[in-house]
Structure 1
Amino acid sequence: MASSVTKDISYKDLKALLGQNQNLLLVDVRTKEEVDKGHIPGSVHIPVDTVEAAFAMAPEDFKCKYGVTKPPQDAPELVFHCQLGRRGLNATNKAHQLGYVNARNYAGGYKEWSEKEGK
């Protein structure tokens, strides 16, 4: 089934996941300055340059640092995003290299989200 998962997720699909899935981990890989200007509700801030180290952490260290449970490698709902899509894709690729087979990138990024949400 993992082969049917695409690496990108659309605004519509992400919006649906946010509304229904308690297990979704949405990771914002932008800088702190960008996040301070606005973020997708429920997202966790893990800057792109720390994604690899973060997802290599022991689960208890991850929970302590980020305040959320580290997802298992086969987690069905792990989504990364940035402002426009490039850093989110880099983070998604790093997660795949670490064995997170279902990790996806919200290619529209915060820019599309904020436009569609009217923020």
Structure 2
Amino acid sequence: MAGAPTVSLPELRSLLASGRARLFDVRSREEAAAGTIPGALNIPVSELESALQMEPAAFQALYSAEKPKLEDEHLIFFCQMGKRGLQATQLARSLGYTGYGEVWLLAGR
């Protein structure tokens, strides 16, 4: 899909190994419960806008994770096929987040 940067699987592995990536699974809770990338934070795309606009303490309380900062690099959103990942990437961009990418497929490439 055009309009968003992508992250290849080797790049993702490198970013995760270095601890420089924040990984967001934007699929439904049911999909994420069936399996996700270890370390990913599940925020369904339907709640992402409100989540990214929360105060940091409220985000922490709801998601048990630190809220990403606008300037954080390597915010990576993924879903099953790419559509919701693209929506999440565009949403983050519209809210002023500058460090974002997208992983197209959850499984195997």
State TM-score, norm by structure 1: 0.83
Off by >3 Å, runs of 4+ in structure 1: none
Structure (1/2) with the larger helix percentage: 1
Task: Compute the displacement of 1:24 (Å).
Answer: 2.3
Aligned-residue RMSD, C-alpha: 1.3
1:78 aligns with 2:75: yes
Deviation string for 1:41-71 (max 9, x for gaps)?
0000000111111001101111111111111
SS across alignment from 2:97: coil
1:104 aligns with 2:105: no
SS across alignment from 2:106: helix
Unaligned runs of 5+ in 1: 1-5
SS across alignment from 2:58: helix
1:60 aligns with 2:57: yes
Aligned length: 106
Q: Which residue of 2 aligns with 1:37?
A: 34
Cα distance between partner residues in 2 of 1:95 and 1:64: 21
SS across alignment from 1:8: coil
Task: Compute the displacement of 1:102 (Å).
Answer: 1.4
Cα distance between partner residues in 1 of 2:18 and 2:100: 18
Give the counterpart of 2:7 among 6, 9, 17: 9
State TM-score, norm by structure 2: 0.91
Unaligned runs of 5+ in 2: none
